[in-house]
Structure 1
């Protein structure tokens, strides 16, 4: 079978398509014929050598979709979405290959309404969104939730999930086009940082009180701005660092009782992941969650996918078709 193998981590990494043996099924695991996988920030960080744990050679890919070929839990032919947790594509070979062996409890039966690309983007981002909102932010119906990078894969998932849980998502984006896309995606309000001041827009939207929650997949200076946008006693959840790993924090914002915390899905227990997968599966089947796909690339064009990711122009998830 064909697989994209990272032979050396670094910037630039050394990667290429190779022939590999097809995985051998074993108890507790499902053999999946891969259809799609996402090119995301995790795999990009790993391939650049900035993750610290992985060893080459390694097949990357931590979320995807495919068809069950052999399993003790699922019937052959079942369409599934795959969550790789902290091992697939990190410490063991992942999903950038034509067949993959996946733990039974890391699979979610894919609703008929979603295609392969949408299914491949359903696990990591939406698990992050659901568990960050319910565990870290403790979201309540009617609350306002400011979401930075709202048209990116994680941001879009947070917006959709917040709305499904009864909150009012406010999208923070960086261009007129992204503002239009965020509005089409169901944001209750949109702030375009290219033409609006964040503090002024938040004051107008909340009668000067600040938002109840803020969720930030961007990081860097943006995180500090979001902390200041939350009402005293509100919560900010950091979800990523595409905009930088260091953030200025106003001490007065902390003294006002604003809670700043972080959330990373790969550290959760099997029980929490199972609960999250069940929840997002139900919400997706009900039509409340649907990933947005920015672009699709073939097996031999994976570097073009990473270039699209690096451009930070993507609106939605970038998908590798297998």
Structure 2
């Protein structure tokens, strides 16, 4: 079978398509024929040395979708989404290969409403969104949620998931083109940072009150701006750092407003918790409330073009690799 193997971590990394033996099934595992996997920030951070020191050689890829070939839990031919948790594609070989052996509890049967390419983008971003909203932010129906990077993979998932859970979602984007996409995607309001001031726009949209919750997959200087837009006793949840690892916070605003700052990292969560999250995602997707946006699709041999698209910061939705 073909696999994309990382031989050296760094800038640039050394990665190439190689031939490898097809794995065999073991008890508690399913053998899955992979059709698609996502090219995401985790894989890019790992391959460039920005997130730990993964062992090499390593096949990366932490989420994807395929069809079951052998399993004690799923019939052969079942379409499934695959979630890699904190090890697959990180410390052990992952999903950028044509066949994988994966623990059966990390599989989610795809509803008919999703294509297999869309299913590849259903786990990491949407699990992050669902667990962060329900268990970290303790979201309540009717609240107003501010979402930075709202047309990216995580941001788009937060937008859809928060709407599915009954909130009013305000999208924060960086260009007019992304603003148009966010509006078409169902945002209740859109703030375009290329022409609007974030805090002023939030004040206008909330009658000066501020938002109940801010979800930030971007990080960097944006985090401090978002916190200023949160109401008294409101919460900001940090979900990523594509915009930078350092942020400044107005401590006076934090204290006077008695605001809460917290974070969520999916890959450190428990297997039991993420398994329950997968079940919830399956229900919401089957109801038509979750529908991953695919920015672009690349063939296996063109994986570097996919990473270039990711780092361009122009992608709207997930980038999918066809295996």
TM band (smaller chain) = over 0.9
- Whole-Å separation in 1 of the counterparts to 2:50 and 2:85: 18
Q: Is the 8 A contact 1:149 1:173 kept in 2?
A: yes
Secondary structure (helix, strand or coil) at the match of 1:92 reads coil
Deviation of the 1:53 alpha carbon: 3.8
Matches within 5 A, 1:53-68: 53-68=53-68
Secondary structure (helix, strand or coil) at the match of 2:90 reads coil
* Map of 1:176 onto structure 2: 176
Deviations 1:128-184 (A, max 9, x none): 000000011100000000000000010000000000001111000011110110011
* Map of 1:285 onto structure 2: 286
* Map of 2:307 onto structure 1: 306
Deviation of the 1:231 alpha carbon: 0.3
Task: Indicate whether 1:237 and 2:222 are aligned.
Answer: no
Task: Indicate whether 1:112 and 2:140 are aligned.
Answer: no
TM-score (norm 2): 0.99
Q: Is the 8 A contact 1:53 1:91 kept in 2?
A: no
- Whole-Å separation in 2 of the counterparts to 1:30 and 1:291: 24
Secondary structure (helix, strand or coil) at the match of 2:43 reads helix
Deviations 1:189-218 (A, max 9, x none): 100000111111101111101000000000
Q: Which runs of 5+ in 2 are unaligned?
A: none
- Whole-Å separation in 1 of the counterparts to 2:37 and 2:28: 22
**Runs of 4+ residues deviating >2 angstroms:** none
TM-score (norm 1): 0.99
Give the aligned length.
Answer: 322
Deviations 1:211-230 (A, max 9, x none): 00000000000000000000
- Whole-Å separation in 2 of the counterparts to 1:138 and 1:98: 39
266-275 or 301-310, larger mean C-alpha shift: 266-275
- Whole-Å separation in 2 of the counterparts to 1:117 and 1:222: 31
Deviations 1:104-125 (A, max 9, x none): 0000000111112100000000
Q: Is the 8 A contact 1:53 1:90 kept in 2?
A: no
Deviation of the 1:253 alpha carbon: 2.1
Task: Indicate whether 1:33 and 2:20 are aligned.
Answer: no
Matches within 5 A, 1:1-322: 1-255=1-255, 256-322=257-323
- Whole-Å separation in 1 of the counterparts to 2:253 and 2:159: 24
- Whole-Å separation in 1 of the counterparts to 2:201 and 2:268: 35
Q: Is the 8 A contact 1:13 1:48 kept in 2?
A: yes
- Whole-Å separation in 1 of the counterparts to 2:125 and 2:185: 16
Q: CA RMSD in A?
A: 0.6
Secondary structure (helix, strand or coil) at the match of 1:34 reads strand
Secondary structure (helix, strand or coil) at the match of 1:145 reads strand
